[in-house]
Amino acid sequence: MTSRLAPDLRRTQVAPSLPRGARRAATSISLIFLLALGAAAPAHAQYLPSQPVSLAHGSVVIGTDVSFSTSTTDDDSAWFNYTDYEHNTMRLMRLGVSAHVRLNDRVSFLSEVRSENGDHIRPYGLYVRLRPWKARAIDIQAGRIPPTFGAFSRRAYANGNPLISYPLAYQYLTSLRPDSVPADADELLRMRARGWRPSYRTGNQSVTTGMPMLTAFRWDTGVQVHAAGTRVSGSAAVTTGTVSDPRVRDNNGGKQISGRAEWQPVIGFVLGASAARGPYLADRVRDLLGRTESSYERALGFDVECSRDHWIVRSEGVWTRWDVPTLPTSLGAASGFVEGTYKVWPGVFVAARADRLTFSKVTGTTQTLTWDAPVTRMEIGVGVYARRNLLARTSYEHNWRDGGLIRSRRQLNVQLQFWL
């Protein structure tokens, strides 16, 4: 990762609005939409499958999700769209395969594996679902389970996201890490706006990515209980990691407790609330410090969805606090977004999202600043369904923040997505 990003560290001015990759991206845009229009033609559309593969009289169902995204930014300039898997979400080829195996009316096994940009195949989800009572909408899931916290995390797949980018709370990397901590406020402020490669002296000193407020790219491991009624539903879970750092193997011997409740008083209107609390810092870091202070992460979220006629409007707010043993106060972050989708005519829609991420202040030796640089993102886009399960879309995205080497980035993004 360091070798890819090192050339950009030598830049002394803000990057131009259209970097060197603009011409190549424009070509990719044309190709993507030509493919989509070709697939829409009746003579060719019949060659694309439209349903998941069903075996053993429906007891085994296999689906897939394939997407290709590109943009007008250079490959090594993912300053605002970098993920904890060290990929640029705007230059991403992703292949996912899911399977649902139903043993009987009460026991099912579900799994999903993914590969991004040809990297290793990773288990995204792998869990068993138990339904103790046939007449009650209650199920228990155990393994690498779907997220309990938040609304967007539950629709961040297939065509659930109306735009190409992800909300800042679910993707943007902060300068905090679970395997190392800043020695003091001054060291923390030196990593401001460097969530893609923060490094500290205490703990793991290698250069790697920081944590987002909560991630949409990994599922946690644990047990979840879900119950649904006519208007109210809820979930509760105990997991190995936290919303910022989901894990398969435990790194601190603690567990996160999370919950979510939804209320739908009328059709087309949903209110949701989420909460989570768990230790995020690795035990080996705490052992180095020789301290017993708290190292918990606490998160609280609220969301609302309204839909009517051709409109869908969603909004979500998230508040998170991390305890850092080397600092006198905990570190806070808050993020919120509003997005809307309007169906212009059958198969064509427009969408927009306004997004903001802010941080609490800390006081160093010579200055008082937010511990990370606040970020704002605006995105507008249009999507065309060539088929029910084939979507081509493009969006214009503008990111800017109050700090860092690159303070502003404008880019045009395109994506082609197919799923079963």
Mean pLDDT rounded to a whole number for the chain: 86
Name 101's bridge partners.
60, 109
pLDDT of residue 327: 93
Query: What's the pLDDT tens digit per position in 180-209?
Result: 999 999 999 999 999 988 999 999 988 889
| Rounded-to-integer distance, Cα 235 and Cα 148, Å | 6
Query: What's the pLDDT tens digit per position in 2-54?
Result: 333 333 333 333 333 333 444 444 444 444 444 444 444 444 445 677 789 99
Q: Which residues contact 8 (CB under 8 A, 6 or more apart)?
A: 76, 77, 79, 405, 406
What's the whole-number mean pLDDT along residues 72-100? Answer: 82
* Weakest-pLDDT range from 60-64, 123-127, 155-159: 155-159
pLDDT of residue 21: 43
pLDDT greater at residue 44 or residue 132: 132
pLDDT of residue 153: 86
* Weakest-pLDDT range from 16-20, 301-305, 359-363, 412-416: 16-20
What are 86's two structure tokens? 């060290």
Q: Is the distance from CB of 247 to CB of 279 less than 8 angstroms?
A: no
Q: Is 371 helix (H, G, I), strand (E, B) or coil?
A: coil
Q: Where are the domains of the chain?
A: 2-419
Does the pLDDT at position 135 exceed 90? no
Query: What's the pLDDT tens digit per position in 372-393?
Result: 999 999 999 999 999 889 999 9
Fold of 2-419: Porin (2.40.160)
pLDDT greater at residue 276 or residue 31: 276
pLDDT of residue 37: 44
SS (H, E, C) 179-241: CEECCCHHHHHHCCCCCCCCCCCEECCCCCCCCCCCCCCCCEEEEEEEEECCCEEEEEEEECC
Does the pLDDT at position 75 exceed 60? no
Residue 77's pLDDT band, with cuts at 50, 70 and 90, is low
Q: Over pLDDT 70: what percentage of the chain?
A: 87
pTM value is 0.86
Query: What's the pLDDT tens digit per position in 241-272?
Result: 999 999 999 989 899 999 999 999 999 999 99
- Compute and round to an integer the Cα radius of gyration of the chain: 22
Cα dihedral sign, 285-248-121-27:
negative
Q: Look at the block and give the residue holding tokens 């993507």.
A: 32
Q: Is the distance from CB of 314 to CB of 338 less than 8 angstroms?
A: yes
| Rounded-to-integer distance, Cα 244 and Cα 74, Å | 27
pLDDT greater at residue 112 or residue 86: 112
Residue type at 241?
Answer: G
pLDDT of residue 76: 54
CA angle 235, 237, 240 (to 5 degrees): 155
Name 33's bridge partners.
none
| Rounded-to-integer distance, Cα 73 and Cα 346, Å | 32
Distances in Å between the Cα of 157 and the Cα atoms of 96, 112, 313, 314 are: 10, 11, 18, 16
pLDDT of residue 157: 63
**Contacts of range 110-119, beta carbons closer than 8 Å, 24 or more positions apart:** 116/85, 116/87, 116/92, 117/87, 117/92, 117/93, 118/93, 119/85, 119/87
What's the whole-number mean pLDDT along residues 341-369? Answer: 96
* Weakest-pLDDT range from 72-81, 99-108, 315-324, 358-367: 72-81
